[in-house]
Structure 1
Amino acid sequence: MKINDTSGQLEEALERLHTAGPERVGRLTNHAPMVVESLAAHGHAEAVHRWLDLYEGKLEDFPSPVAPVTDANWREALGDPRRVADWIDHFSRAVADRPWRAVLAEWWPRLLPGLYGGSTHPVIRVGHAVRALEAGESAPRLSELAHGLGYWAAVHHTVTGIAALPGAPTAAASLDAVPAVHAPSEEFPDRLAVVRALPVWADDVTDPDTARERLTELVRAATHRYATHGHGEETMLVHAATAPNAVLRTLGSLPRELWAPSLHAAWTASAAVTAMYAPAEPVPYTPPALRTPEEVLERALAHGDEHVIKLTDTALDVGDEPALAAALRAVELSVPLS
């Protein structure tokens, strides 16, 4: 069950974070806004600032603006990471002037094709911001949505020319059918560039309610799969689950006609990440002991790694034992935050 934090801790943390940029060293994402929202949503607002104190060394100053983004020039600014401050300012003004759901509905179909930018982190950040706003609106939460949308627009990156391979009836079987790719570089864009074919799954879905059901299935399958495949790349394979879950938790704030396109984009992203980081073989995994969701979350918080906490957040959304096992596997595979 999600909790609406009324302590003000989330607001304080977001205000603290909005003086920092969405990336560091030019390519690594600032995960802190997503983590603090996860902690607050699951009743651990008291840990937000303590965790931030550990993470603070990874933050960089907010970037300088270049030129305003306007209704007339936004297309030329789309996908230009130098304009991230301009984009955040644009969305800050938009959510101040209009209802945030109207802004989201206008920009979601524009941004959705480019959800690969920033290694899918912008859509994940937007998903966390939307969940916070659905729990309760405040100025820092609105600002967080602006930061997430602005980051997404600045690093917007599309993928085209992916051939269709035969899929399978279920999301789990279709993920199993994804062919692994190999790239000479470890960088996300270089790996993405060699993804040329992916299985087709749920491509005929047009009904909004069916789209939600299939997206829920995808999140569950990708989360479960991490337990046996996460060793392929313990950090990046988290996004095969957290990116579609960000889309799923945003659906209720979007017009229903956007639900099916959102499913299709989420599948392609999850499948692409699976292709880019798939291990040679799965490894059977049984957690050392069954634990309650709260115990799993406490272990993730004690570990501290941002991706571990975010996968645990998604695992708690899924809510079954295989999902909790995946979160525990992430704890085992990942390096703790110190």
Structure 2
Amino acid sequence: MLFSILLALLNGALIGTSRAINGQLSTRKGAFGASVWNHVVGFVFLTAVLLVLHTWPDASDVPLAAYVGGVFGALFVAVNSYVFPRLGAMNAAVLVISGQVLSAVAIDCVQQRSLPAPVRLAGVALVLLGLCLPRLTSQRGKKGDPALSERELIDDLLDDRTYHIEFNGHLTNHAKHAVVALAGLGVPARDIKAYYDDYAKLTSYGYGLEPPKPDRHTITEENWRRHLGQRTSFWSYCDFFDQRERELGLDEVLRRYVPELLPGWTGAFTHATIHLGWALDVGHRWMAIEGLAYMAFSYATCHPERALPSTGKDASPADSLLRLAAEWEERRDELAHWVAETLADTSPVDRGEIHPELLRSGLQFRIARTLSEGHPLFYDTPAWVEGSDDVWEPLYYAVTLLYLSQPADFVLLHLITSLHAMEQIALRLPEDVRRDAVRCFWIGLLGTVFSGGGFPRRAKLAALHELFAHAVDGGSKEEDWSTIVSRAVIEEEEHNPKLVHVLRRVWARSGRRAVFRVAAGQFTATPDLPPSFEEPPTA
């Protein structure tokens, strides 16, 4: 009897382990794919066992209906594989076991044509209560500590794995970025949850989020570089970085892998970098894992290896913008022709250097193509890149001037939110690598601006610089910020609360420089999608 009890306990442990393994397999092969492979491997294993035992089951006297159990078994594995990565092992196990207990009671009632004895019903109730007790205790703890409840709800949203990182081909799932921004602006967690759910159903682009996509490859230490930018195996990259983080710790993972990922920081229109940097800012492990995976998945290099040593030009990023604006005015026809000629050449797509899905995007292709071709102006390293350690605030100032020169520009807004991400990433890297992060950001910024076929007028940049260089907000500006924040949190376009979240923080830490408050109120609109979106995605 004792042996049977121990065997049953062992079987339960094997079932729990099997569910977890199948859940990981489903993120790569899909729920039904995981079920297929589960049963194929099981069939091969049982066949081998029967051959060793020199026996084979006799099916001659078994009614046909008895084989329906095989269908239920396949569905059981498929459903388990689907829910385990989404609900977590504990939650999924509690629900599955509860369903098994209740169905067992129902089957006994049907077979015995009577209700089970009261003692047995009481036992079932105690089992169900025991299964649910940890959840009930957790909920009671949340009610007793509202702050804990708020934090846990935000963490749950950032830990959610229900949706793929992109939808409709290459459009980024911004939901978690919005969660971080809205939480930073003081929005209650329940309202953030409602926003998250609404966004999942219908984004500002008119499409809903999509479930996780099966992977084509298993990512390992040996092949992770080989699949950079191939957009095939996001969840396998997540598994890879998740495992490495468990082995090495997040700091060591960042130190080992981020330097090789930094050149691709503009991939996915900077959103992969935003995902990682903002996760590091709020200290959320799983979102950081996703960010690393997304940077690998969408990698498109800006070629920092082409950068030349500094020739001493420009004491600050603002000086660099003014110099480049003057270059554009002097060489407008030449530079505009270079951009147009570069973008007309799609041969890098044919050669596999740029993913074909980016052609469908239009914008992402323009940025990737401009950076793949490169222009000498991108690689003329300014003095400030290799100079003072205090480079971040001058960079924020310059990028914000750029945004104010074309207020509400959707593309330039991303340079502000991604700069915040790049700073958070760089702060967690060794000091000698931080300069590389700044260099990559500057090259990517220039490629992004050039890809639009123009550059802000020097006179406008100079006027803005003169207006804001020393402008500091005096007195109380909290009412102004309250208005800006109140507008941002009701915006359907999630880039606006992200803009306000970043610039309000920079405003506070910079000594209340007015330029950041003024720019924070310049909201953007969701751009119209190009006609290419009528074509099906290639990824």
Mapped pair 1:268 → 2:465: no
SS in structure 1 at match of 2:407: helix
Aligned counterparts of 1:230 and 1:198: Cα–Cα separation in 2: 25
Which residue of structure 1 aligns with residue 413 of structure 2? 238
Aligned counterparts of 1:5 and 1:259: Cα–Cα separation in 2: 36
1:173 to 319, 338, 347: 319
Q: Percent identity?
A: 23
Which residue of structure 2 aligns with residue 295 of structure 1? 483
CA-CA distance at 1:191 after TM superposition: 4.1
CA-CA distance at 1:50 after TM superposition: 2.4
**What letter corresponds to residue 196 of structure 2 in structure 1?**
L
CA-CA distance at 1:70 after TM superposition: 0.9
TM-score, normalised relative to structure 2: 0.53
Mapped pair 1:24 → 2:24: no
Aligned counterparts of 1:76 and 1:189: Cα–Cα separation in 2: 21
Which residue of structure 2 aligns with residue 138 of structure 1? none
CA-CA distance at 1:145 after TM superposition: 0.8
Q: What pairs up with 1:168-317 in 2 under 5 angstroms?
A: 168-176=314-322, 177=324, 179=328, 181-182=339-340, 183=343, 186-194=362-370, 196-198=375-377, 200-202=380-382, 205-206=385-386, 210-211=388-389, 213-230=390-407, 234-277=409-452, 278=454, 281=457, 291-317=479-505
Mapped pair 1:40 → 2:183: yes
Residue 294 to residue 94, structure 1, CA distance change in 2 (3 Å) = farther
CA-CA distance at 1:272 after TM superposition: 2.1
Mapped pair 1:10 → 2:154: yes
2:517 to 309, 324, 328: 324
Residue 201 to residue 242, structure 1, CA distance change in 2 (3 Å) = farther
Residue 105 to residue 175, structure 1, CA distance change in 2 (3 Å) = same
Of stretches 246-255 and 182-191 in structure 1, the one that deviates more from structure 2 is: 182-191
RMSD: 3.0
Residue 322 to residue 24, structure 1, CA distance change in 2 (3 Å) = same
Q: Is the 8 A contact 2:261 2:299 kept in 1?
A: yes
Residue 201 to residue 163, structure 1, CA distance change in 2 (3 Å) = closer
Aligned counterparts of 1:101 and 1:45: Cα–Cα separation in 2: 31
Q: Is the 8 A contact 1:24 1:60 kept in 2?
A: yes
Q: What pairs up with 1:55-94 in 2 under 5 angstroms?
A: 55-56=199-200, 57=202, 58-94=208-244
Aligned counterparts of 1:266 and 1:163: Cα–Cα separation in 2: 12
Aligned counterparts of 1:23 and 1:305: Cα–Cα separation in 2: 17
Q: Is the 8 A contact 1:38 1:128 kept in 2?
A: no
CA-CA distance at 1:95 after TM superposition: 2.2
Aligned counterparts of 1:100 and 1:45: Cα–Cα separation in 2: 29
Deviation per residue, 1:161-182 (Å, 9 max, x gap): 9787995332123224154645
Q: Is the 8 A contact 1:227 1:326 kept in 2?
A: yes
Aligned residues: 316
Aligned counterparts of 1:187 and 1:225: Cα–Cα separation in 2: 19
**What letter corresponds to residue 490 of structure 2 in structure 1?**
A
SS in structure 1 at match of 2:300: coil
**What letter corresponds to residue 318 of structure 2 in structure 1?**
A
Aligned counterparts of 2:450 and 2:399: Cα–Cα separation in 1: 12
Q: Is the 8 A contact 2:503 2:520 kept in 1?
A: yes
Aligned counterparts of 2:391 and 2:219: Cα–Cα separation in 1: 36
Which residue of structure 2 aligns with residue 108 of structure 1? 258
Of stretches 43-52 and 100-109 in structure 1, the one that deviates more from structure 2 is: 43-52
In structure 2, stretches of 5+ residues that fail to align are 1-146, 203-207, 329-335, 345-358, 468-476, 508-512, 528-539
CA-CA distance at 1:118 after TM superposition: 0.8
**What letter corresponds to residue 320 of structure 2 in structure 1?**
S
Aligned counterparts of 1:237 and 1:276: Cα–Cα separation in 2: 12
Aligned counterparts of 1:225 and 1:313: Cα–Cα separation in 2: 18
**What letter corresponds to residue 396 of structure 2 in structure 1?**
V
SS in structure 1 at match of 2:391: helix
**What letter corresponds to residue 294 of structure 2 in structure 1?**
Y
CA-CA distance at 1:146 after TM superposition: 0.8
Aligned counterparts of 1:293 and 1:225: Cα–Cα separation in 2: 21
Q: Is the 8 A contact 2:265 2:273 kept in 1?
A: yes
Q: Name whichever structure is richer in helix by fraction.
A: 2
Which residue of structure 1 aligns with residue 34 of structure 2? none
Residue 217 to residue 305, structure 1, CA distance change in 2 (3 Å) = same
Deviation per residue, 1:174-213 (Å, 9 max, x gap): 2241546454684222244235243545457446xx34x1
TM-score, normalised relative to structure 1: 0.82
Aligned counterparts of 2:302 and 2:276: Cα–Cα separation in 1: 20
CA-CA distance at 1:251 after TM superposition: 2.7
Aligned counterparts of 1:202 and 1:102: Cα–Cα separation in 2: 30
